[in-house]
Structure 1
């Protein structure tokens, strides 16, 4: 037992020193002493593997090799944030919040928005069990062995932590560490890294965790998600996370008014350059967790949070040429090809020009010196022209009138900002774009098949539409460039596996204009199978929640095309799911059809999300605020008095959780 006790004692001591140094920034032991104790522990663990511990401090040095990072579905989705750029944006957001919450007083938590690589860490019984990148928000890559090498990520928690939860944050590379890394690269005759953010993100995908351990990465945490966490506010969440051993930035403030929020923003806009990390704005969150639950989410973002972005960096450079790209829907996007210039830490060579109106409005011409900005968008944009530097014989830009790929005359519908190529089934980028959309993660998620491979398969004449994917054989694929036998096998297997994808995602995968993920879910829920959807009229489609005339007309047009009908017929033969599964149908009814429910308060038997799902599964609609169109208010404990008052004034029936459950 002496050896086991010695090992446990060393682990406890090293964890504490690690926490003091990397989280509290308060070293209580020299680096040399720490290294000696770590080496002693490594030697003992090597001799006594029976005392292995997945949270041992020795795992910080890395060594695990990961060839392929496994894709993991997030148990709780990682949403993106809506952006704001002015006080007016924030005030409008506050009005929208108050409309839903009524007269309830609202507090805000302000935190700095650190520019790093988003991460979700899962803890069970106080131990780190998983680290997953953000990915597309629904699923990401398992990078646990690399995360364990980051000294500020606790492997073992302390205090009164919940049995299971996820905590979200950013993996960042401090300026000092980044500068040191680049100095070493230059001394070794290598090119320096461009910016801390991309370097931090790239570090997480290194195959050798020992290399990750050498990089001075840091992890700043800001959000806990899970079930029955017993946390009442964002502020309490930050304090609890600190107590449990997480590194939570101190630069945060609890604000009672928008004016206080603006004060915080203005202070940090001036002082952000004093910070050791990159930051590009402030995240403002409604503090009360119950209010957050009441406000809920849009299809992309929480309604209870907003990112205020600091004014974007701007540079000027020469516009060498305007070229035109064709998207999968035939939309034409003009692109400015620029003289390479450094902007916000990356070299920019291209910028979107959006459409013909934008070019005309700013009078953008080839040969101009233009101002380029990288604001909320990932893709830089041109915001103006330096007319003092315009060449003498400059001529206004003539927007193209024929498709740059298939030379078909372009069309532009009234009220539409973009030009379109109508040659839907003969224009190469539209054909390959539709197939790339079909195989994408949120659609059919076909393993072993990427955008470049789609281009290659089309160029070689092996596919012309996404139904052709199901006829591909290993023998056809092996002769292709960069296609080994294993890759060919994986591709064919990935295509075969895709027939298990549920109907709502198949509907999204078809690439019908204006039918995104949320619309596809609503249509699948309303029609249950594709047959009813194919014969629906514009008027019938518009009776479905959130389906307007534009979407309805697009659907009728898509299903009125013989080519699309033939592709659907073939996909059906190959086993693709064109109806809601029997399991799902079992739990779905139309009992609540035509009725709108607002859910408010804390409930005894079900979570608010479970209640909302029950409403939708039974044909009802979930509303965010009470209006004359609300059929029922489902009231739980701690519901705001203003909601009750509004429901009573409008004559909206107020029912309990038990009343609702008896309805379904």
Structure 2
């Protein structure tokens, strides 16, 4: 029987079909065309389309088929493909900005990684003049569910960490908070009782993930899902309510295995490890965050496997920076439950020195990661060093350990990968994955400015459908209107050594107007920058100045980074909130909560993500969860003030 699409499914297919025709899409879903028969663009378009349908609660293929057939085929062909390492996004038309950003969790698969994490915490304790032996650690089960955020009124999926989908309808249908908890406890996961799943749902759903997707979809619920909600067998479990172990590191390390095993299996829901975190709020602030995860928290997982394989070839692939990365190919090999055919060899100096080539026998590991890692070379092979770029055929040169294509302006791989990096870093635009960008490149477009000048008619000439073309133009306009930080805009240009972290450091000291005129000595004076890095940044900034000015002139809505010195001057001296710790909660009437946090930091205040004993003020907007207020007032003695009182406080 041919596949019939619902109106919601058809809307997503129309928007995200890419190179796929309707006939091709149906043929893939019904098994008439296998993954290995698809072109790269067809495979990627189908993966993205199937993902959007799944995340919208309208799946057309099973989780297993998606992972082990289509995703593994992409992994076999392109083991370093960005799609494999990113949070798979939700459909753009369904996303909204989250109340707060949801970070991922760093992972450890061996105790030495845990020990390095502990060493960093011990260093932070020493810098804070705290006794490390008295610090408390918390160990909780790591839920394997559907990540979401509850602000007390709305429930959101995690999405890409910055933008998610409003799924409040799940609460309205009967989704309960676990442990009889109240609404508004922030991040957590939607999970399904595993015994209930085995007894009631396994005959209909392949796994609990499919049930989670079904209970948040817009259409009428499946009767089995309704019963699951009615019986309280699917819940939203806030991380703050998880059962835990609390104690000092000496006690945890002395009985690590037993404690981990006990906590891991405490719940009746699927778990894939435990999460370790430091409890002390001051240490948390000192440890800080990366763009990906909190440094004060780490997940312990145990699923490392190894296998020995003999290489068939080492294939070169050109990256955004021009570096040519070697990818080792071998016969299909099962590792950690999946068949793999490729692994990265890092750089060609490693290939040359370790003799990685056809015939080499290597040991691979895959510690729960998407891309396998070469652990050891057991027998050398025939070394083959490419002379020309696999993308543009230009002559390659050596730069340290790396082979590099210097043909920046005319190398297709560098141009397309740089475009993709720009849109991905902006974070306020969807629909510009590799497939769409390759199609735009093949239409003759070579610069970001040319992309922003495209009309719907231009895009249709490149092969996009009318609906796709309309949505692409709309997304481009959205990226101009939606505010983004000035440092993020600069980071999107992909200058070497100028990732988001370094850009934010620069803008914390110098305004945008001065960034491009900075000297090496000025950059070197900023904490974390050396003279060598300063030289690279000066050269890199010079190389993008023209394109930066052209794009900025299009009208991007940039949020200036507050400068502490300027804010202090505006206050007529020391800031009235300097040294105080604030937590902001609820919906603010005078601006975004993230902007208020940035302003508070610029005025010398500390900003926490949750209320603790070290919190001085809890600033409340509208729609604040009662649990947070109760904890702040009754148990911690925190002073609760309104948004208006806070604004009056800072003048």
Q: TM-score range by the shorter chain?
A: 0.5 to 0.7
Work out which of the residue numbers 138, 161, 166 in structure 1 matches 2:186.
166
Q: Are positions 1:473 and 2:473 aligned together?
A: no
Partner of 2:176: 154
CA RMSD of aligned residues (A): 4.9
- CA offset digits 1:314-360 (Å, max 9, x no partner): 34445333212211111222222343334334333332222234445
- CA offset digits 1:580-616 (Å, max 9, x no partner): 39xx6899536499x9999877569999999984575
- CA offset digits 1:15-48 (Å, max 9, x no partner): xxxxxxxxxxxxxxxxxxxxxxxxxxxxxxxxxx
Work out which of the residue numbers 106, 129, 137 in structure 2 matches 1:82.
106
Q: Are positions 1:402 and 2:388 aligned together?
A: yes
- The TM-score, its normalising length taken from structure 1, stands at 0.64
- The TM-score, its normalising length taken from structure 2, stands at 0.65
Partner of 2:547: 567
Distance 1:311 1:579, change over 3 A: closer
Alpha-carbon contact 1:120-1:167 (below 8 Å) kept: yes
Q: Are positions 1:427 and 2:411 aligned together?
A: yes
- How many residues get paired? 514
Alpha-carbon contact 2:580-2:605 (below 8 Å) kept: no
Aligned 1:117-266 pairs, distance under 5 A: 117-124=146-153, 129-132=154-157, 134-145=158-169, 153-154=175-176, 161=182, 164-169=184-189, 171=191, 174=194, 177=197, 208=219, 210=221, 214=225, 223=238, 237-238=240-241, 248=242, 250=243, 252-261=244-253, 263-266=255-258
Residue 380 of structure 1 deviates from its aligned partner by 1.9
Q: Are positions 1:411 and 2:391 aligned together?
A: no
Distance 1:546 1:299, change over 3 A: farther
Aligned 1:253-402 pairs, distance under 5 A: 253-261=245-253, 263-266=255-258, 268=260, 279-288=271-280, 292-293=284-285, 295-359=287-351, 363-368=355-360, 370-375=362-367, 377-385=369-377, 387=379, 395-402=381-388
Secondary structure in structure 1 of the residue aligned to 2:186: strand
Q: Are positions 1:524 and 2:548 aligned together?
A: no
- CA offset digits 1:535-575 (Å, max 9, x no partner): 222222233444443443333223433xx344234324422
Work out which of the residue numbers 89, 92, 99 in structure 1 matches 2:119.
92
Secondary structure in structure 2 of the residue aligned to 1:123: coil
Distance 1:383 1:158, change over 3 A: closer
Q: Are positions 1:114 and 2:143 aligned together?
A: yes
Alpha-carbon contact 1:340-1:347 (below 8 Å) kept: yes
Q: Are positions 1:460 and 2:443 aligned together?
A: yes
Of structures 1 and 2, the one scoring higher in RCO (CA 8 A, sep 6+) is: 2
Alpha-carbon distance in 2 for matches of 1:408, 1:277: 54
Secondary structure in structure 2 of the residue aligned to 1:539: helix
Aligned 1:585-604 pairs, distance under 5 A: 589=567, 591=569
Distance 1:303 1:597, change over 3 A: farther
Aligned 1:498-577 pairs, distance under 5 A: 498-500=479-481, 501-502=483-484, 503-529=486-512, 531-561=513-543, 564-576=544-556
- CA offset digits 1:267-316 (Å, max 9, x no partner): 64699699866544321112345654565434443233222332512344
Partner of 1:437: 421
Partner of 1:46: none
Distance 1:452 1:180, change over 3 A: farther
Which ranges in structure 2 are unaligned for 5 or more consecutive residues? 1-56, 61-89, 587-592, 609-613, 618-647
Alpha-carbon distance in 1 for matches of 2:575, 2:357: 52
